[in-house]
Structure 1
Amino acid sequence: MSGDSNVRPVIIKRKKIVAGDGHHGGAWKVAYADFVTAMMAFFLLMWLLNATTEKQRKGIADYFSPTIAMARVSGGGSGALGGDSVFAENTLPRMGTGSTSLKAQANNQAAGGFASGEDADKAAEDEVFEEVEDFLMGRGGESMVADELLEHIMTRVTDEGLVIELFETENARLFDDRARPTALLKDLSRVLVEASYIVSNPLAVEGHTSAYPIVLAENPSWDVSAQRASEFRQLMLSSGLEAGRVKRVTSYADREPTRENTMDIRNNRIEIVFLRNL
């Protein structure tokens, strides 16, 4: 046995060989961490649904919504830090989405609709303007305006008010060669004065002319349109219109033609505007 004690012990080393991609051995940990995170978020969501009110859930949903800037109800709390949106009625005026905090209507303080006091007044004026149009154009069947006069009247409603055009044709002129009103224009002025009794709005008188040939040494359009507008104002006053209702008399020369051909006789016209009271 003494001889056996001098023999070097045999040490067997067993080496474990992993075939390929051994560095991915911890991928399951990442997947497990993602799973745990997802479960935590899920249980947090379940808790929030059970622990919050409908208003608070609406506020949370608005917070994560990409349209949060335009949300009409923003913020789920009811305390000092409730998160009221700048679009709230009592915070800042609404810009283009309805009423303001200084002038809000009862029916749209929360909804933020487009209705307002000015809009209601404008709608009421439009209805009255429609009555004037019906009278002038004979739509109601009770108009006393003759057919030959209706051929020279055109109306339209704009932001400025009700615009009534009195225009010339090839066979019927408003002024003669000496710039004096014709019988046609005198009849039209009486019709306009009668129509003015339907409304109380102030008036504006505008003179327009067709373009003159460019061979002229001086363009008389400005003087002619100014004279015609002034003449028609005098006609309306002599027909019974109150002088205080005429707010302005304007000359536009040939700068606002209604036809593409600026020399078309249709551009010779008088425009009467029933101005809005807004």
Structure 2
Amino acid sequence: MSLEPKKQPVIVRKVIRKSAHHGGAWKIAYADFATAMMAFFLLLWILNATDDKQRAAIAGYFQEPALFEAGSPVLTVPTGEGSGNAPSTIDFEGGFAPSPEGLSPSQLAALAQRLDSARLESLRLSLQAALDDSAALAPYKEQLLIDVVPEGLRIQIIDREHRPMFDLGSARLLPHAAAILEEIGTMIETVPNPTAISGHTDAHPYTNPDYTNWELSTDRANAARRALIAGGMAEEQVGRIVGLGSSAPADLEDPGAPINRRISIVVMRLETAEAVFEHDSATLELPGD
């Protein structure tokens, strides 16, 4: 009989250390921080460059821009800033001088543009962070295109092969597309900028001559509007609904490509929106008037 002790089996345990995953939430915080810092430094600049009367005028300008006449040395301030019930005025004695003692109309406009750009950049970063971090949006990341265009911040939701946004030939949103639009609507609601929504189709013609790609693209843009509002975007933020049919394809070489079927949402710059809507609401002069 052997008296040798039994050898115990050697157990090797392999420990795999997983590094922590950092989502895109930091991008939202960074966007808010960048916007706050820009606003803070602009505020310091204004406080240093103006006196009390001019600061009151600047505050009135941002509250009621229509009361300020470009190039005028006089700014009307709403009731409550002056005495009595009538609006008061602030005379800048010949206009704003482009010196440390005052702000010219062009400087005021530049200030408003910078704040507007900061808002849109913050929104872009927030949308990008949601794409990186949202479980609901992650599967559709390739169908969302976000870029900056002269009119503002553009968000496009495009069709992919075997992953459309709508039922075939219909304006009924599929559940995943509705979820994407509602998520976007929640974010657009955080800015005051109006939106322009356009629908696009591919070039495949309809057999029904009474309902063409023009009607379909318009109905789809309207369906997108309803989903954005359901997500939280204010109805008053809708500035324009357009159906472009197949007239502006994303893929010029293949008019029937799925990418041509898309919804485009432009969060408009305030300056652009003002110019567009002013043009649209211009008085119509009929012959003989």
The TM-score bracket by the shorter chain reads 0.5 to 0.7
**5+ residue gaps, structure 1:** 1-92, 94-100, 110-114
Matches within 5 A, 1:128-207: 128-138=119-129, 146-177=137-168, 178-207=170-199
TM-score, normalised relative to structure 1: 0.55
Are 1:208 and 2:200 an aligned pair? yes
Q: Give the CA deviation at 1:217.
A: 7.4
State the number of aligned residues. Answer: 174
1:164-219 CA-to-partner distances (Å, cap 9, x unmatched) read 11111002111012431001211111111121133121112111111125x95748
RMSD: 3.0
Contact 1:154 1:165 in 2 (8 A): yes
Distance 1:198 1:221, change over 3 A: same
Give the equivalent residue in structure 2 for 1:272.
265
**5+ residue gaps, structure 2:** 1-70, 72-93, 272-289
1:80-99 CA-to-partner distances (Å, cap 9, x unmatched) read xxxxxxxxxxxxx9xxxxxx
% of aligned pairs identical? 23
Structure 1 Cα separation of the partners of residues 248 and 150 of structure 2: 17
Q: Give the CA deviation at 1:271.
A: 0.9
Q: Give the CA deviation at 1:103.
A: 6.2
Give the equivalent residue in structure 1 for 2:277.
none
Q: Give the CA deviation at 1:236.
A: 1.8
Contact 1:168 1:266 in 2 (8 A): yes
Paired residue type of 1:267: N
Give the equivalent residue in structure 1 for 2:224.
232
Higher RCO (C-alpha under 8 Å, 6+ residues apart) = 2
